[in-house]
Chains A and B, each alone.
Chain A
């Protein structure tokens, strides 16, 4: 863009377009090639004074050829005044801007970054050195943080709804079950004993440590976990699949499946946190609503006992969640969103329906070995899926813009 000095000088007040021959205007006319590929001045302020006269003459000639009346001089004067107003309103672009930006570009094509001259009214632009390819851990950490910071709230809301649904499901299950049918706490923890016999409940409340509560709750939410995992994976791919945004993201140096995985890490981490929080409150909720008399208090929650012994099986019980995520992502990449939904529904519906026949090997069942071993295997499979996705060289089907 030209600077102020190159602008069209405004005609004196009262100027009118010459209606006569106007040869002076013709001398100032630009050739189409100089004006641009379209054969017209590309912008009003590129025209020399009098340019509009030749244009007006051309337009008038064309109008006459078409049998239309040419513009009246007053109309032309009005148009000219309008153009003057536009030119007067146009903000200045610093004269030094073009060389400054050119220098940025030149520096950007070299390895080193150097300071540069800036325009008068514009901020300093400095060359951005090319990002490392493949990106390093610092860039990965920034991406994870960015995903966490701008996680869509709609996703969070749906996640909360699903977990609330799981809690409700559990409450209903507890309501219809006998107290003796409550699942055992876990391989490393104490079995929950209902206490004294009798229809009225335990004579002495049982006390559960924090980790035991989590295990109990993870068991209770096991049926929800795969679907939560499916939601996590779909949410990781869904909100940004619109083409424009996907195009912008596709220029990332991170592999497409890698970006999907990072989103899934963030969303999965959140889901894990929500499950654990639900785990803290769920037994208390059950106890409060159904008067089971579990002795749960802040002291118990603050002093987990046998944490190391139950940590591994506790993590293992998150396996349905993480396998749900990895399984859905795997199919999302290969078959798109619909394929992922079908694959996920197929797997978990089959597991749920087949649980009666799987017995203790049911991966969604609560309990110790051998189910815990199955859950550890599920985690291993989930990690394997994740690794293959991260190193996947082909584009993502139907998502992330590739």
Chain B
């Protein structure tokens, strides 16, 4: 019954269908993974899966004029801890950590809320919030008011979220309490290593303070049913005495 014209039409339709299926599967392959959910720091150690453990950090090499005060401060901190009179930190006075230290505070989880235009990261300790603006150009550093979280832009590189951050205040200390200048730039490569394991590879560049960039990687495990806990620093009983040591206020009967 079907004439040559009808058969040609059928072939065209079949070809179109194949094309649509191919395009759809290609689009699916390109769709970024959904990182939304609550994630808890995953620490290496007994019982940890070695294949999921992040690589060790690269060395932090400060320029000599920054290395000396940094080493002196660390030695003083170690000495104070040995005496049982630890030196104060911003956190003792309930000042939040800021980026990047907020990404790894003890066992406190982080929540990621992913939308195409913005990825929001809320960390539990001190309820800190970062906003990553997707597919936007980064601002020049001197246009970002220095702050605790700076200005972050993100884009997908295949299945990896790449986040660029500038504008972190100099008083906000970095990884291992390292100092930094206004010229610091932090690049994160965030990806799912398995469906329930996230790695955040953090590279810190600072042409003023660092001899060369350093990189460290944080690991997180998914907490499927976890509800984030509020954290309002309302009952801080730690204070610094006249020597700058941490003390605890006691109640009378």
Bind each other:
no
